[in-house]
Structure 1
Amino acid sequence: MFIAKDWQSPIAPGLSWYQESSGERPAFPALEGSLDCDVAIIGGGYTGLQAAYHLAEAGTRVALIEAQRVGDGASGRNGGQLGTGQRWWPEELEEKIGYERSKALFDLAEGAKRHLLDFAAEQKIDIDFVQGHLNVSHKKSYEAAFRANAEIAASRYSYPHMRFLDKAETDSILGSTRYHCGVYDSGTGHIHPLKLLIGLARSASVAGASIFEMTAAKSIDRQRGKVVIDTAKGQLTADRALIACNGYIGNLEPVTASHVMPIRSFIGATVPLDRFPEIIPGGESVADSRFVVRYFRKTKDGRLLFGGREAYTADNPRDISHHIRRQIAELYPQLKDIEMTHAWGGSVGITMPRQPFVRDVMPGVTSIGGYSGHGVMLANYCGRLYAQSVLGTSPDIELFKSLDIPAFPGGARMRRPLLFLALSWFALRDRF
């Protein structure tokens, strides 16, 4: 059974180019009645589905529930960029937690990258992978830091795939004169995120995981030594559970909600740029140095896919494409009147230090999220690491659990207004 590919979710504003170009998603039933399992998973994105796949492959009885359709959250609607390392540059992270832990986290992220590409190849999922990524600076004063980044990656982190770009080379690769320098990373690239999500869901189902869509968790609790999850028309009872809701946690679990905050992010896609061959001719993905990062790339059929506008409330703008086109024109004036064929948005889960939140929030219940815009690799890998921890085959998830992730200040009432003020201040700094 399939549902039309133009399905519009209430949590996923706008029809994405990914939906138009990935074919139809497999549909799964809603949960009705009671079900016992070994592991219950809340959330049908990368983290939940990877955990479900690896647990089911090992013979574990797994049930996964998703409030909407699998892929309606960030996993199916993001920018598709893999990046390298964690959200922080390794030398920045090293200043905070020391070289040994910073190196371990960098190596873990490289393992995440290999896992994603290997998994897609093994499962025969065509994810439209394109090699090459640029980090570019919107301020001339950042040049020294960008030079050092490439050097440190090679000398201290055994990563020789980065090289510094001066302004002339940056301009040539981008087809834009608005940036001052950059770092080219040949060891990573970008993918079609929804194609990966669809393939992952099918693999998890084939492996034996029970997947239920349109099934929101209403509550999660411990009863008589078991984890009990109530839904509108059913109930899951399990030995343990994984909360993998990321920016869509809502009020389901208060510890996660106090540590993982959703912000709205929006992306647009243009018509194919056949008349503008000078724009990113190599097809690399790009992310800039702004606090409100502008990230963009060309799709397999030659469109410019551009993200960069954020909102710190739950509201959605009436015209997403207008704001995106304006940002595109700042970088590429020749595209000021370009037709936008798609514009969409969703929620990104962030934490205070921009590092993943991985914590046992009650006995037998682990919560994972807060990838802070770096989740294509990390969300997939964290799902696998959770499964390995349950199976007793790897303790690597403990490295994420050991991170100091403080709660957002202000309590339930003031948390969001304080976040709005703080992020607005940092966004203002981008202009100077």
Structure 2
Amino acid sequence: MSLLSIDRELARNSYYAATAPRMESFPALNDAVTADVAIVGSGLAGLSAAIELAEHGLSVVLLEAGQVGGGASGRNGGQALAGLACDQATIEAQLGLDEAKRIWVMSLEAIQLIRRRSEQFGIDCEWQSGYLSLATNARKARELQAGVEAMAQKYGFQQRWIAGNELPDWISSPRFAAGCFDGESGHLHPLKYCLGLSQAAKNLGVRIFEHSAVTKLVHGQQVRLSTAQGSVRAGQVLLAGNVYLQEIAPDLAPTLCQRIMPVGTYIACTEPLDAARLKALIPSRAAVCDTNFALDYFRPTADQRLLYGGRVSYSTATPRDLKQSMQQRLLATFPQLQGVSMDYAWGGFVDISMNRAPDFGRLGPNANVYYLQGFSGHGLALTGLAGRVVAEAMQGDAGRFDCFAKLRHRPFPGGKLMRTPALVLGMAYYRLRDMF
């Protein structure tokens, strides 16, 4: 079964889709059009870039193979966190401390951008501040505390350390040994936010076309993009389709496809809980994540449910009995929820890079085709910032974009046939490490 077929099947029972009905659909492209900029992909990165460009007076066409927000942008865990999927040491090793600090500051800007756009465009995305990072044993607690101290010393980023004896004030779970609290990060309803951005983009004059997969790209001073029934000519192009480009149009940028891999992620959501019961589980109502490599993450929703994610598939095979398996993970964290049913269970694919750092850059002889990929499951906030910095680059100020573009990336080993089995084997090693 193809990646897109699996993806559509996984999306059928999404809590987000059930609670954010689409008020409008966009037409398919069936004509030849021109624009200053063409964007491929209507997730948060593509929409963010479209808004930035339109606000500065450029004409923008946005092409989406499916529906707006139909990929990871519209059905992720809803956690908008500072930083990148990789730790800051990875960035420091490649770029040095000064550039790593610059990227860190931009990641904080990414969170503020969500708040500003929600207010500016009247998007009720259910924002809730607060993020708890929790260690599952004493060794990991020591590592987490060392990381908290390093972030305060090097980056001036203050988090509240939570010793083991203080944990009951923050979370009602036997799983954790210690943790920290970040008041800058938070969580939201990602599909409501994504759909709100699409309306904002439309109101700014962006032409959005759904069900318009790009099948061909011809480089030149004017780049030509072809779909099944139409075409776009644009002076600049942004590819923001992530893992879906591999399947829909792998020839657009074959070297890019080698540098990311699709990873299946899975989430479930409980039935509504009594408000007092839910508050007793997480008194701060913060987003929560453990520090394992194969991590669990969860958060309360605005309608008093608990949303819980934690299973991943590096082979793209969907776990059996998804609701039941997610419920078992939930009960390992909150055994007091025995008997609580799961109303929803869904999943989808995210794009990971080898070093978990984002992969931004340019393609083509004219360097006028830009790309954004490799958010590695940590993109809810960062995608918005990525859209902003690529828009800056397209308008002649590439300093912040090039800061990310200097990060080096390698293709996954094993070639087309063996790289997925190699990744599965490698992740098995990290799962074993998580147990100790």
TM-score by length of 2: 0.92
Q: 1:361 to 1:388 in 2, by over 3 A?
A: same
Report percent identity of matched pairs. Answer: 34
2:61 alignment partner in structure 1:
63
- Distance, in Å, in 1 between the alignment partners of 2:292 and 2:123 is 33
Counterparts of residues 189-200 of structure 1 (less than 5 Å): 189-200=186-197
Structure 1 partner of 2:277: 276
Q: Describe the SS at the equivalent of 1:286.
A: strand
Match of 1:176 in 2: 173
AA of the residue aligned to 1:206: N
- Residues 97-246 of structure 1 aligned to structure 2 (within 5 Å): 97-160=95-158, 162-222=159-219, 225-246=221-242
1:367 aligned to 371, 376, 379, which one? 371
SS in 2 for 1:159: coil
Task: Supply the distance in 1 between the matched residues of 2:92 and 2:304 (Cα, whole angstroms).
Answer: 38
Corresponding residue for 2:291?
289
Do the aligned residues in 1 keep the contact of 2:94 with 2:407 (CA within 8 Å)? Answer: no
**Alignment correspondent of 1:249:** 245
- Distance in structure 2 (CA, Å) of the matches to 1:406 and 1:42: 23
Q: Distance in 1 between matches of 2:96 and 2:396?
A: 28
**Other-structure match for 1:29:** 27
Distance across 2 between alignment mates of 1:410 and 1:299: 41
1:390 to partner: Cα distance = 0.8
Q: Distance in 1 between matches of 2:9 and 2:259?
A: 21
CA deviation profile, 1:140-191 (whole Å, cap 9, x unmatched): 112222222222222321222x011111222331110111111111122111
Corresponding residue of 2:39: 41
- Counterpart-to-counterpart distance in 2, 1:325 and 1:390: 46
Number of aligned residues: 423
Q: 1:55 to 1:377 in 2, by over 3 A?
A: same
Unaligned stretches of 5+ residues in structure 1:
1-7
Is 1:408 the counterpart of 2:412? The answer is: yes
The alpha-carbon distance between structure 1 residues 349 and 25, as it changes in their structure 2 partners (threshold 3 A), is farther
Whether the 8 Å CA contact 2:7–2:349 is kept in 1: the answer is no
Moved more, 234-243 or 14-23: 14-23
Residues 336-371 of structure 1: CA deviation (Å, up to 9, x unaligned): 332111111011111011110101132321110110
**Matching residue within 381, 384, 395 for 2:385:** 381
Find the residue that maps to 2:79 and give its secondary structure.
Answer: coil
Query: Relative to structure 1, is the Cα distance of residues 9 and 261 closer, same or farther in structure 2, using a 3 angstrom cutoff?
Result: closer
How far did 1:12 drift? Answer: 4.8
Q: 2:281 is matched by which residue type in structure 1?
A: I
Quickly say closer, same or farther: Cα 1:155–1:9, change in 2 above 3 A: closer
Q: Secondary structure at the match of 1:276?
A: helix
Q: What secondary structure, in the 3-state scheme, does the structure 2 residue paired with 1:100 have?
A: helix
Partner of 1:5: none
CA–CA distance in structure 1, aligned partners of residues 133 and 323 of structure 2: 24
Q: Which amino acid aligns with 2:45?
A: T
How far the C-alpha of 1:64 sits from its partner, in A, is 0.8
Structure 2 distance, partners of 1:376, 1:25, is 22
Q: 1:351 maps to which residue? A: 353
1:261 Cα deviation after fit: 1.2
RMSD in angstroms over aligned alpha carbons?
Answer: 1.8
TM-score using structure 1 length: 0.93
| 8 Å contact kept, 2:86–2:355 | no
The one-letter amino acid paired with 2:179 is G
SS in 2 for 1:40: strand
Gaps in structure 2 of 5+ consecutive residues: 1-5
Looking at structure 1, the residues matched to 31 and 294 of structure 2 have their Cα atoms a distance apart, in angstroms, of 44
Shift of 1:247: 2.5
Report Cα offsets for 1:348-401 as digits up to 9, x if no partner. 111011110101132321110110111011111101111111112452111110
Contact 2:44 2:194 in 1 (8 A): yes
Amino acid in the other structure paired with 1:210: R
How many angstroms apart in 2 are the aligned matches of 1:15 and 1:209? 30
Question: Using the alignment, how far apart are the partners of 1:399 and 1:356 within structure 2?
Answer: 11
State the distance in 2 between where 1:394 and 1:351 align. Answer: 23
Residue of structure 1 equivalent to 2:402: 398
Name which of structure 1's ranges 141-150 and 52-61 shifts more when overlaid on structure 2: 141-150
